Amino acid sequence: MLDFSSLLLAAALSGTCLSITLFAIWFTAPSARFIPTVACGMLVLVAHVVLFWRYTKDANPWLCHIVLALLSLGFLAICLSAMQYLGFRNYRRAVLPTLAAMAACAAFTYLGFDGIGFQITYTAVTVLLAAIGTMFWMKGDHDRRILLVVSFLSGACGVSFALCGLVLLVHGQWVLGAAPDNWAERVNSVVAVACMTGLGALALSLHHLQAQIELKAETMTDPLTGLMNRRALGELYGDRSFGPFMAIAMFDLDHFKATNDVFGHPVGDQVLCRFAAVIKKYGRAGVDAFRLGGEEFALVISRMTPEKAHDMASRIGVAFGTEIVPTHRGPLRSSVSGGMGFGAAVGRSLDEVLAEADAALYAAKRAGRNRVIAQHKEGQPDSGPALKTA
């Protein structure tokens, strides 16, 4: 037969080691805010396990209050860490029901119905673990293998706590006067040790995964404008075949060197950011914006006819022409030239479409700037006139 005390002590030792490891990692990467939250949750659970072991030796009513409260608080902290990692911000949805369950548990336990108190706490923990599993199952958009394992472990641990409460309910054990000791409690001790150890290890994996994602995002993002950069363009579309409903619009800010020379580079940076803000307003599914370098930008447009793609690029140019940047020499307005490159029914590569857009862009500059040009092809728009601005 399994030694119940040994199982509890094993759970406490495992949780302590994992908490120390997580805190050590957090000190080296303080931006990972979910790490200290899960570490604190595990430490609270360690305190629960130690006091529960003490409660098995001396069933003090006040100790029962503390043991049950720590169990709920520990899993609440772990649930909040999952919400932090996945980007959920409405923490009240987890905190308020848990606090309500803790209050109900304390009331029944104070009245002597400690069996009901254990059932309420086990139910609250089951719900929290189910919420963790569901959040990772539904919201996770990273490595699905890791996230599905997190969901499985949370679910398994939740089932073990549900069984503990169910056994007390079926046997009608409303008043215990001692720590519950049955087959479900022993199974729960084994499952909880295994699952919490696994979840702790997966927390490390999730931290590593998040660090990789953040690093990749940094290397693919232009730090000034927040748009994706040329590397990101190659990553996302380098292997794509551009069909008839795909296009690239290339933009180049007119006389940008003169803007820098006359008004200074800080004003030039403001102009770049203003254009980036304009181009972001047209972002939607199938439209991705990039800063290629300097004053050059690109817009990849999908699921749109050539005429509508050209119209969108022209509207971006018109909108940018209405932007005013205040300077020490007075208000500054700028314009932009654009060129369109289109996919084809047989498919075209990124380099081919970019080359066409680049050629059209230079044609727009030769034609007087402040316009978006599409090289004349059958079924595609002609060279555009100068853009009208307010």
In sequence order, the 6+-apart residues with CB closer than 8 A to the CB of 285 are none
> Edge-to-edge, what's the strand order for the sheet holding 336-342?
228-229, 287-293, 296-302, 246-253, 336-342, 372-374
Residue 338 CA from chain centroid, whole number: 34
Largest CA distance in the chain: 91
Sign of the alpha-carbon dihedral angle for 4, 9, 13, 19: positive
The two structure tokens encoding residue 143: 């490595």
Closest by CA position to 117, among listed 97, 135, 96, 102? 102
Which of 214, 218, 235, 295 does the annotation list as catalytic?
Answer: 295
CB 12 within 8 A of CB 189: no
Q: Are strands 336-342 and 372-374 parallel, antiparallel or unpaired?
A: parallel
In sequence order, the 6+-apart residues with CB closer than 8 A to the CB of 86 are 135, 136, 139, 140
| Residue found by looking up tokens 């215990």 in the block | 176
The question of whether 214 is a catalytic residue gets the answer: no
Rounded to whole angstroms, how far apart are CA atoms 182 and 202? 30
| Residue found by looking up tokens 């963790």 in the block | 132
Closest by CA position to 311, among listed 274, 281, 338? 338
| Residue found by looking up tokens 């509890």 in the block | 8
DSSP symbol at 300: E
CB 159 within 8 A of CB 130: no
Catalytic residues: 295
